[in-house]
Amino acid sequence: MEIEKNIAAAVVRGIKALYGQEVPLETVQLQKTKKEFAGHLTLVVFPFLKISHKKPEDTAQDLGRFLTDEIPAVVAGFNVVKGFLNLMVAPEAWTALLADIHKDESFGLVKATETSPLVMIEYSSPNTNKPLHLGHVRNNLLGWALANIMAANGNKVVKTNIVNDRGIHICKSMLAWLKYGNGATPESTGIKGDHLVGDYYVAFDKHYKEEVKELMEKGMSEEEAKNEAPLIKEAREMLVKWEHNDPEVRALWRKMNGWVYEGFDQTYKALGVGFDKIYYESETYLEGKEKVMEGLQKGLFYRKEDGSVWADLTAEGLDEKLLLRADGTSVYMTQDIGTAKLRFRDFPIDKMIYVVGNEQNYHFQVLSILLDKLGFEWGKSLVHFSYGMVELPNGKMKSREGTVVDADDLIAEMIAGAKRMSEDKINKLTDVSEEEANEIARIVGLGALKYFILKVDARKNMLFNPAESIDFNGNTGPFIQYTYARIRSILRKAAEAGLAVPDTLKAGADVSEKEIGLIQMLADFPATVRQAGSDYNPSCIANYCYDLVKEYNQFYHDFSILHEENEAKKLFRLMLSANVAKIIRTGMGLLGIEVPERM
């Protein structure tokens, strides 16, 4: 922030004036003063002791006196605690800083330029045999937030998705629909397309288990029965037909995938996420096979006697990795290599970020090495944004058993919960139409869901509790949204009374320590956005928003705004409130969370 820049530059001048030596600006370490000491910013003087040839306390005293003489409009006083110089920043410097923040509508955000690096972020990666579930919700929300954060740090960003639209699991749904579907469609049943297809994936598993049980009763081992069950044999035959472009199988595949994509699009829209480019495994796996064969010819990979192709990564401290099976079919790694080839052809990628669960850590370690060997410039530096699993109070989820928490059901439940929780509050707004009440419930319900997921460090496993997430108190989305709506209400009342937030502030407003603390928190926002980007950690921003809101609510409790008699103080507090609201809107927006004007 501007205050820190001014102080750091003055410290450099002070070292030269006091001790006759130039020091680089980066040696000046300023940090927030600890709560138990008086002051706003603390200078660490230890790096300068070799230059001053004095004790830490004496060096700090020298610099404190120099700063109060050199920049009195910024440093109003100081105290020394051992090797730490605690500086009191002048009130007028804080009000000037607030005015600067107020003038900058996109405060904290860095715009991309033509020369900015291009970051591609892959997230979602669904299979087309079932609807999206709670695990996908965490993935999509993390991917979307990360894309916003990378863009806010001045990068060009491309949001991408790889759809797993081929394979045995897809054939299982197709086969079950042929056998048990009686021609059912989303239109004829009124069932959303991805749900309809998912129902047949569950149906396949149910009938398959019955067949396995029957074969085991006839004397087969479990493993034999699983391989010899008629249904799994038919599914495998269907996959071979798909691989050989059988027109009937391909037509059914296109039809059922089409149902799924329509369903996915509705869920993505409800979640408020999207993509710039979607890739499909059916289009990338052949590209991957081609790239692997190219690597084989160059001697990067080797072929075993059975015809399978492998990469030997023992020199990198890993093991050997299968790239093509003996029958020539591809594995996930092959698909990822093919997708990388197409992406690199389509975009000049500088950094590639994969948002994928932590059970795939090893996969991405291997992929990074293979892409680097194959000549992809960003291969070595690819980022696996590895996140933990979402669990529920009643345990883990299983798709094929139909026990997952469905994303659509969850979204509907969150919105209904928000409506129930906020009915009392909304009813206090006398002029709210049913349409607006529903929209507020949608914003609050989704805000609760998104915030609860994004406030947790992505690397950790998390327990999702819908009831806890929708609370209007504590570290929740609705608590932050309610504070935003409260500030917007204050600003509307001010406007009705003919009071506009000024562009600049006149002298005369005594600024309390509580108000200074809020300005200082606002000034921390750009550094929080930078940290969230460098650490790939959306939870930094979520928890910053919560801390800011907590601090503002204490201020709101202790200080009058609209009833303040001193005009200068009133306008100052209005500007302070308006900028807290602005930063809440910006911060929550980076997380993909809307904030309502009224609640």
Residue 347 has pLDDT above 90, yes or no: yes
Structure tokens at 436: 């607006």
| DSSP H/E element including 353 | strand 351-357
397 band by pLDDT with thresholds 50, 70 and 90: very low
Residue 422 has pLDDT above 90, yes or no: no
- Determine whether domain 123-277+332-391 maps to CATH 3.30.70.270: no
* Shared fold status for 123-277+332-391 and 445-590: no
Give DSSP secondary structure letters for 266-299. Answer: HHHHHHT---SEEEEHHHHHHHHHHHHHHHHHTT
Q: Which candidate, 387, 292, 384, places its Cα nearest to that of 338?
A: 292
Residue 454 has pLDDT above 90, yes or no: yes
pLDDT the model gives residue 400: 46
pLDDT the model gives residue 424: 64
d(CA 376, CA 361): 20
What digits encode the pLDDT tens for the residues 495-534?
999 999 988 887 656 899 999 999 999 999 999 999 999 9
Q: Where are the domains of the chain?
A: 2-89, 123-277+332-391, 445-590
E-only strand ranges, 110-267: 118-122, 156-163
- The CATH code of domain 445-590 reads 1.10.730.10
pLDDT the model gives residue 508: 55
pLDDT the model gives residue 2: 86
Task: Tell me how many degrees the CA angle 194-391-538 measures, rounded to the nearest 5.
Answer: 90
Of the listed ranges 205-214, 421-430, 471-480, the one predicted with least confidence: 421-430
Residue 398 has pLDDT above 50, yes or no: no
- CATH homologous superfamily of 2-89 equals Arginyl tRNA synthetase N-terminal domain (3.30.1360.70)
| Residue linked to tokens 């003038």 | 103
What digits encode the pLDDT tens for the residues 229-269?
999 999 999 999 998 999 999 999 999 999 999 999 999 99
pLDDT the model gives residue 510: 81
- The mean predicted confidence, pLDDT, of the chain is 93
Local structure of 24: helix, strand or coil: coil
17-45 mean pLDDT: 95
Query: Nearest 5°: phi and psi at 536?
Result: 50, 60
Assign 3-class secondary structure to 386-452: EECCEEECCECCCCCCCCCCEHHHHHHHHHHHHHHHHHHHHHHCCCCCHHHHHHHHHHHHHHHHHHH
Q: Tally helices (H) and strands (E) across the chain.
A: 22, 14
β-bridge pairing 383-387 and 277-280? unpaired
pLDDT the model gives residue 431: 76
